[in-house]
């Protein structure tokens, strides 16, 4: 029997629901280690919970808004695969641009405004659960539920009209197909960008009650069209694949732990802590954008120099025995932990 060696960068490797053994081994070593990267220079890799939180919590020292020319080893290919400029993409911005946009965007995600969407979200979920039931056994949870539900919710959030939603969903699903060639994925990204530009142009003419419409109505002169397009694209990219994967893998985790499933199924009050435990235990996002050290700094006992790249592994950090008892055990009744499934700091 032969096994296939995992050639992906160590910060992207997984074993089942958890981190890869080599990421866990690095977490147990003293200090911080450097790892090779596929895009040029080596980088420091953080795997311990305390180190990851400290780095993500210091946006002044560990910068997001860098270019390849800022690297200590000289210009290299940018690994972040950002199309066009970074306008509106909060994940790639540093203060003060990040601060300004987040201040404008945060009121759109208040509990009151999200509750206005709740009846429509419940309707979307119910419709797709009914579709799964009508399909009969066996049913593909991913195609019938996990992929379309977040896509339709994002359509509601962004104000995608019903006449466009089928095409929007089909394009979004194809963008998540990792079997497509890079050229095909680039072309789909360009199509999505063009659609978002048209969506913003229509909202400028007649702003609705959706997120883009409210931003235009309440902050018309404070945000450019490019920033509105960037925000829309960010919500699509960051909100669709992650939610789809969480719905599917969260269901699989519960099915593989029937005792935990019974707790959640029989007690609605058990759902909130179960969601937090699923976020911690699965850590659906392996990592985030590489950070660039803006000055010399010591972290985890190692000296990181200005111009060095820093990577991080969230699954390893979320299963760090230094902060969670028996971290590999899936327990929906676990007391809430300071997990970093959503990151930490200003980009949380």
Q: What is the CATH number of the domain that holds 319?
A: 1.10.630.10
If asked whether residues 108 and 247 sit together in one domain, one would say: yes
If asked whether residues 148 and 223 sit together in one domain, one would say: yes
If asked whether residues 202 and 272 sit together in one domain, one would say: yes
Whether 226 is covered by a domain: the verdict is yes
Model confidence at 62: pLDDT above 60: yes
Q: Which of 253, 284, 315 is the last residue of a domain?
A: 284
The pLDDT tens digits of the residues spanning 227-256 come to 999 888 888 878 888 999 999 999 999 999
If asked whether residues 123 and 47 sit together in one domain, one would say: no
* Cα dihedral across residues 50, 52, 56, 60: positive or negative: positive
Most confident of 71-80, 105-114, 118-127: 118-127
Q: Determine the Cα–Cα distance for residues 264 and 258; give it in Å rounded to an integer.
A: 10
Note the pLDDT of residue 82.
40
**Which of the four pLDDT bands, split at 50, 70 and 90, describes residue 74?**
low
Note the pLDDT of residue 9.
74
The pLDDT tens digits of the residues spanning 101-117 come to 888 888 877 788 888 88
Q: Which of 230, 251, 284 is the last residue of a domain?
A: 284
Q: Determine the Cα–Cα distance for residues 110 and 105; give it in Å rounded to an integer.
A: 10
**Which of the four pLDDT bands, split at 50, 70 and 90, describes residue 325?**
very high
Note the pLDDT of residue 44.
94
Contact, 154 vs 170, CB < 8 A?
no
Q: Determine the Cα–Cα distance for residues 45 and 315; give it in Å rounded to an integer.
A: 13
If asked whether residues 107 and 256 sit together in one domain, one would say: yes
- Domain hosting 8: range is 1-80+289-348
Q: What does the DSSP assignment read for 21-50?
A: HHHHHHHHSSS-EEE--TTSS-EEEE-SHH
First to last CA, the chain: 43
The pLDDT tens digits of the residues spanning 299-316 come to 988 999 999 999 999 999
If asked whether residues 123 and 267 sit together in one domain, one would say: yes
Which is nearest to 316 in space by CA: 283, 277, 273, 290? Answer: 283
Strand-pair partners of 311: 45
Q: Determine the Cα–Cα distance for residues 292 and 148; give it in Å rounded to an integer.
A: 36
If asked whether residues 330 and 276 sit together in one domain, one would say: no
The pLDDT tens digits of the residues spanning 212-225 come to 998 998 887 888 99
Phi and psi angles of residue 293, each rounded to the nearest 5 degrees, phi first: -70, 125
Whether 85 is covered by a domain: the verdict is no
Strand-pair partners of 139: none
The pLDDT tens digits of the residues spanning 188-217 come to 888 888 999 999 999 999 998 888 998 998
What is the number of structural domains in the chain? Answer: 2
Q: Determine the Cα–Cα distance for residues 261 and 266; give it in Å rounded to an integer.
A: 9
Residue with the larger pLDDT of the pair 260 and 8? 260
Whether 203 is covered by a domain: the verdict is yes
Model confidence at 2: pLDDT above 80: no
If asked whether residues 28 and 160 sit together in one domain, one would say: no
Q: Determine the Cα–Cα distance for residues 88 and 212; give it in Å rounded to an integer.
A: 12
Whether 133 is covered by a domain: the verdict is yes
Whether 314 is covered by a domain: the verdict is yes
**Residue ranges of the alpha helices (H) in 206-325?**
211-218, 225-255, 258-266, 271-282, 314-318
Note the pLDDT of residue 48.
95
Whether 86 is covered by a domain: the verdict is no
If asked whether residues 277 and 295 sit together in one domain, one would say: no
Neighbouring residues of 223: CB distance < 8 A, sequence distance ≥ 6: 88, 101, 104, 215, 216
Note the pLDDT of residue 93.
86
If asked whether residues 117 and 170 sit together in one domain, one would say: yes
Neighbouring residues of 153: CB distance < 8 A, sequence distance ≥ 6: 117, 120, 121, 124
**CB under 8 Å, gap of 24 or more: what pairs does 155-158 form?**
156/117, 156/120, 156/121, 156/124, 156/210, 157/117, 157/210, 157/211, 157/235, 158/199, 158/210, 158/211, 158/212, 158/232, 158/235, 158/236
Note the pLDDT of residue 203.
93
Model confidence at 269: pLDDT above 90: yes
Pair type for strands 309-312 and 43-46:
parallel
Note the pLDDT of residue 114.
83
Note the pLDDT of residue 3.
44
User: The pTM is what?
Assistant: 0.87
If asked whether residues 316 and 228 sit together in one domain, one would say: no
Percent of the chain's residues with pLDDT above 90 = 49
Q: Which of 237, 263, 284 is the last residue of a domain?
A: 284
Whether 21 is covered by a domain: the verdict is yes
Note the pLDDT of residue 78.
54
If asked whether residues 155 and 204 sit together in one domain, one would say: yes
Whether 88 is covered by a domain: the verdict is no
């Amino acid at each position: 029997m032969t096994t296939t060696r995992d050639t992906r960068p160590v910060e992207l490797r997984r074993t089942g629901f958890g981190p890869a053994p080599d990421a866990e081994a690095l977490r147990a070593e003293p200090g911080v280690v450097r790892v090779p990267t596929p895009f040029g220079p080596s980088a420091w890799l953080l795997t311990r919970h305390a180190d990851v939180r400290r780095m993500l919590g210091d946006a002044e020292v560990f910068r997001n808004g860098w270019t390849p020319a800022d690297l200590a080893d000289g210009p290299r290919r940018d690994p972040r695969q950002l199309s066009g400029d970074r306008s509106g993409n909060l994940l790639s911005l540093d203060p003060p641009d990040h601060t300004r946009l987040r201040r404008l965007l945060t009121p759109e995600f208040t509990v009151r405004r999200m509750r206005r969407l709740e009846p429509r979200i419940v309707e979307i979920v119910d419709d797709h659960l009914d579709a799964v039931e009508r399909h009969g056994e066996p049913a593909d949870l991913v195609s019938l539920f996990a992929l379309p539900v977040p896509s339709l919710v994002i359509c509601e959030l962004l104000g995608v009209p019903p006449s466009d939603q089928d095409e929007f969903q089909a394009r979004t699903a194809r963008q998540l197909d990792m079997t497509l060639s890079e050229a095909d994925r680039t072309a789909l990204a360009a199509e999505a960008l063009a659609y978002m530009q048209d969506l913003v142009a229509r909202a400028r003419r007649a702003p609705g009650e959706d997120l883009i419409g409210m931003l235009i109505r309440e902050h018309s002169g404070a945000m450019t069209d490019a920033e509105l397009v960037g925000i829309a694209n960010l919500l699509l990219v960051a909100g669709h694949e992650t939610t789809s994967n969480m719905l599917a893998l969260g269901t699989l985790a519960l099915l593989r732990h029937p005792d935990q499933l019974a707790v959640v199924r029989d007690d609605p009050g058990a759902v909130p802590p179960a969601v937090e435990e699923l976020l911690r235990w699965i850590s659906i996002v392996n990592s985030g954008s590489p950070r660039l050290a803006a000055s010399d700094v010591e972290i985890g006992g190692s000296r990181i120099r200005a111009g060095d790249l820093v990577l991080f592994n969230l699954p390893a950090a979320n299963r760090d025995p230094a902060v969670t008892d028996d971290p590999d055990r899936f327990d929906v009744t676990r007391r809430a932990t300071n997990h970093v499934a959503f990151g930490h700091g200003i980009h949380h």
